[in-house]
Structure 1
């Protein structure tokens, strides 16, 4: 036999790999008899038990067949691998239309791990309630069930009951248990909405600027994106009548992403009336609605919905950790069964241990105690960022969207939008991660002609924030004029 593979695998695995290679090369065609285990063991200088183990593995994988009293043979239907084409490597497997749409937009850049990173969505590791979470996990683990199996794809009943109570008292939202679907982060919730509510060619209204990952999900589903401008109060709902009907509208009414406006009551009513008139569904992404620093959080748009037009998406990614991948949808009762089945097909259910631990935190009050602490800490970080921007940039920078949430937008007065990429590159060279606002606009012509940066502050401590902004200012002052 040919030389067996390098000695990085157990002996039986190397023998099996060598036999598979010879079958693929056609040396052993379908039906061909292999050497007896005794003969091959003697040839290779190994024990017969080792060869028997290799044969048994290939039988289990379907490469070999055995019959009592007969030699082991290559299974029928196993074909040799085709020789590589002389012209070059084989083409990559063909992507679906969905796959090609996914790659139509480049992924956002990521700052080096060593940088002071102002990426939105990151949280400080020091904020995670380790003791409370560990206690919740211990409580859950001590309740070890007698049987481990798949649960309701909507999520653990205990967590849905805890969320039902929390959403009522914290967001003014009332719903039934079967209307809550626990998902792997709000991003999966957006994806489920795209799959269930949007057909190729359907019109989807989106805020402009808006959340790029949501836009990409709907575009990959084949939707026709209809951008609607936002102002200091969020979506300009007065534009909806001229836009006409759509299948779905994706909105962030509690804290518009990225500019920070809060949709006022009159606009909320106008949005709901438009959706009811044209039969549209509204996807309300309440991604960081728990964070308001000068007033209590505003109630959810879903709390005003009387016609069953709103799907509400919430998450603990901005309150506990994005690594937990726990979010939830509140869907109209008529859509509950469809969302449950879609979740079942996507991944059966969200991780049960984390669901159970979150249920303990919610029911015993630990979640809201942590949230109060997180608000105080992030208020300090926000204050540090605002002060640093004022100290190092003064009137050159105008801040927008700082009243709520975990990020703000810094506009550079008198600096053209085309300079954003240069600002970000100069910052990265100085070890600072900052992110231009430009890619968040669907229509480039709709954005102001000035450079803007999206600055998240929840992942850094105040001193780090001050250092980062000082270095950013120095990098921009020392380099070529940022207005060129």
Structure 2
């Protein structure tokens, strides 16, 4: 009986909602104008074949929101609404609404002002495209759904004596699992409490900026490089100093004379986006500069799991004189960018302050996901998944390189193909100034391309090629899609006269 009453109440509530929505739409659309009488609740209930109580509830909602007005013993009338989009114009002689107040100036903190008008998240627009070469995306087919489901379910079944906030540095199980994994996969030795679990590498950068970058201080970054790293340091109030890169990675000689720089951000194992590897000589020079100046180095190993024609490159933190190196890792490229987990490996003197900063920002990363990832690593499922993903992405890479060679030949130069999940394609017969037009023409032909220009700083003189360039991701596409997309791009260039 109780269940039947609940179902009846739910059905009545749905009917009330539909009546309310219909009357509100008629008022806003002008069917009922200001001052017009509505049918009585009794009459409308009889017309609709519902109870009077149901109609009365809809009227009461409209009254509470100011769409209706009512006096004791008088019928409900439409309230005199101010004119706005979708309403009937105010009747002649009706009082004019008060003039809008001028907008007060927005007062922002230094952090808020530093954010400026910078772009935020832009949703992918892949619908209707032959191929979308957006970099950073992964194929949903590669995600180990069954293994992830098992570990999440096992974590949910764990009985806890109470629900409480967890260690801001991360769960002990995940840090222990990552310690062992980093030694096996990257040759990196550390203590578990040197590992700080974060919500993706972006939060790791944010914590480093908060802890190590002073307002007005200087931070060296690669140019071209990761835009979100530049933005997070600028938002912290730091002056971003772009350092050019070449075929050997960061031009470390440019750091000399920058003794006031106390933080540097680098991608030494696979420079983003150009793909070069920081040479052994420059690695030593970078660490010597760090030791001499007291500057910290953030080593972003964002796609260290993907190596094809080259041997895995040991992290900076495995070398001598690496006491000031902060290692930044993520599962966004190895598992999914939707699972917001990453990790920092910080020097022992920084363990406490980074844990305190993490606690201040968001207490700790989600415990359920930490437990699931820990179980995947401990069982070997995570590394089996990485091996499968490396093979799948190796096939995609081969398909892309073969298609670029077959369809575009000497029209393009490809860089950064030895590792990672993207390549840089330079169009040797398209000028840099025509990059935007190339992107637009490709989009019109059903191909999603993404320019390299935004990854350079404002002062790119001397090291930015005077050619159009794109960053081509392939990890979300299948080989057949890649082939069709490159063929369509070749047709765009032929019609253009490129």
TM-score by length of 1: 0.81
2:47 — aligned with what? none
Establish whether residue 121 from structure 1 lines up as the match of residue 131 from structure 2. Answer: no
In the TM superposition, structure 1's runs of 4+ consecutive aligned residues that sit over 4 Å from their partners are 8-22, 42-45, 107-110
Which of 451, 454, 460 aligns to 1:444? It is 460
How far, CA to CA, are the matches of 2:313 and 2:155 in structure 1? 33
Which of 160, 171, 177 aligns to 1:156? It is 171
CA RMSD of aligned residues (A): 2.9
List aligned pairs for 1:15-414, cutoff 5 A. 86-88=99-101, 90-91=103-104, 93-106=106-119, 110-115=124-129, 116-304=131-319, 306=321, 308-414=323-429
Query: For residues 293-327 of structure 1, what are the alpha-carbon distances to aligned partners after superposition, in whole Å with 9 as ceiling and x for unaligned?
Result: 12442111112254531111100000100000110
1:460 — aligned with what? 477
Give how far 1:471 is off.
1.2
How far, CA to CA, are the matches of 2:376 and 2:73 in structure 1? 64
How far, CA to CA, are the matches of 1:202 and 1:459 in structure 2? 39
Contact 1:426 1:476 in 2 (8 A): no
Q: Which residues of structure 1 form unaligned runs of 5+?
A: 1-5, 23-39, 46-83
Give how far 1:12 is off.
8.6
3-state SS of the aligned residue for 2:245? strand
Give how far 1:268 is off.
1.0
Contact 2:399 2:483 in 1 (8 A): yes
3-state SS of the aligned residue for 2:304? coil
How far, CA to CA, are the matches of 2:303 and 2:378 in structure 1? 21
3-state SS of the aligned residue for 2:203? helix
Give how far 1:437 is off.
0.8
TM-score by length of 2: 0.79
Change (3 A) 1:419 1:136: same
3-state SS of the aligned residue for 1:444? coil
3-state SS of the aligned residue for 2:150? helix
Q: Which residues of structure 2 form unaligned runs of 5+?
A: 1-18, 25-53, 76-96
How far, CA to CA, are the matches of 1:188 and 1:248 in structure 2? 17
Change (3 A) 1:20 1:154: farther
Q: How many residues align?
A: 425
Change (3 A) 1:20 1:393: closer
Give how far 1:405 is off.
0.4
2:46 — aligned with what? none
Query: For residues 384-403 of structure 1, what are the alpha-carbon distances to aligned partners after superposition, in whole Å with 9 as ceiling and x for unaligned?
Result: 00011111110010100000
More deviation, 85-94/311-320: 85-94
Query: For residues 54-94 of structure 1, what are the alpha-carbon distances to aligned partners after superposition, in whole Å with 9 as ceiling and x for unaligned?
Result: xxxxxxxxxxxxxxxxxxxxxxxxxxxxxx97254534643
Give how far 1:44 is off.
11
How far, CA to CA, are the matches of 1:241 and 1:186 in structure 2? 28
